Amino acid sequence: MIGANEIHLWDVELNQPAEQYAALAELLSADEVTRANAFYFERDRRRFTVARAVLRILVGNYLNQSPRAIAFTYHPLGKPALAGESSFQFNLSHSHQRAVYAFGLDHRLGVDLEYVRSVMDMDRIARQNFSARENTVFNGLPTPVKQRAFFNCWTRKEAYIKASGEGLSHALDSFDVTFLEGEPARLRWVRGQPGEPTRWTLSAFELDDAYVGAIATRQTVRRIVFRSWEMADNQSL
């Protein structure tokens, strides 16, 4: 069970062997199968399928329901939620070969994961999406640390707009987050909303050296419980 002011964060490897993949694919709803089939590349189709099937398994475990019985609704901007359920909150993100799932109670939350990699035009992307203050800090960093700082900033911004429910309709340059190594993750400033930063908790995490991520939630977080999902733990689906 999830305690008050507690977040459970699960991670999963999306590249599952053929036998496990086939079992997971059987869990998807008709609309999820349609979405999976819309991907051009088989790799992306398989990763989407695994990500959604594992979401069904995890939600089913928390709510003591069959994964196939879980029904989702979608915010107009695409954020999934449980049909008819208000207290149980979740969000997911996937990047490259991994996915993460955040679960909590009563309060909106968002999670974002990014595979740390070379990005063409990284400085240009920062200029277009980071706030003026963030760009000042980012441009002053030595080149060797810029890449990780970029993804620290990006994941914290994405987690916040996903938790707020506004998605990319919320301009990324309209608020500040911290993103330097060793600096606690925090929402610093939101344009036109001076009290907004005090209402949110930002938490950063890493999945080994290759992935960085962030969780945003409108509550005080006292503990984040990290868990890894394995197919072997869920043989009966």
Is 96 inside any structural domain? yes
Residue 99 — pLDDT band, cuts 50, 70, 90?
very high
Beta bridge partner(s), residue 213: 113, 205
Strands (E), 16-174: 72-74, 80-82, 88-95, 98-105, 109-115
The first and second tokens of residue 218, run together, are: 């409108």
Q: How sure is the predictor about 233, in pLDDT bands with cuts at 50, 70 and 90?
A: low
**For the chain, what is the domain count?**
1
Record the tokens describing residue 36, joined without a space.
């999976």
**Is residue 171 a part of any domain in this protein?**
yes
For 189-231, write each residue's pLDDT tens digit: 999 999 999 999 999 999 988 999 999 999 889 999 999 998 7
Residue 62 has pLDDT above 80, yes or no: yes
Q: What backbone torsions phi and psi does residue 165 show, to the nearest 5 degrees? A: 85, 0
Question: What are the structure tokens assigned to 79, written together?
Answer: 């954020």
| 237 lies in some domain | no
Residue 236 domain-assigned? no
Per-residue pLDDT band for 234 (boundaries 50, 70, 90) equals: low
Percent over 70 (pLDDT), the chain:
95
* 20-29 mean pLDDT: 96
Nearest to 51 by CA among 90, 89, 86: 90
Instruction: Give Cα 152 to chain centroid, integer Å.
Output: 13
Distance, in Å, from the CA atom of 56 to the CA atom of 66, rounded to the nearest integer, reads: 8
Query: If you average pLDDT over residues 13-38, what whole number do you get?
Result: 95
Q: Which domain holds residue 120?
A: 6-230
Q: What does DSSP assign to residue 176?
A: E
**What is the reported pLDDT for 76?**
75
166 inside domain: yes
Residue 120 domain-assigned? Answer: yes
Q: Is the pLDDT of residue 237 over 60?
A: no
Condensed to tens digits (0 to 9), the pLDDT of residues 68-81 reads 999 998 877 677 88
Let me know if residue 167 belongs to a domain.
yes
**The pLDDT value given to residue 232:** 62
Provide the CATH number for the domain around residue 203: 3.90.470.20
- pLDDT for residue 114: 98
pLDDT tens digits for range 156-202:
999 999 998 876 667 999 999 999 999 999 999 999 999 999 999 99
Output DSSP code: residue 67. Answer: G
pTM of this structure: 0.94
In a domain, 226, yes or no: yes
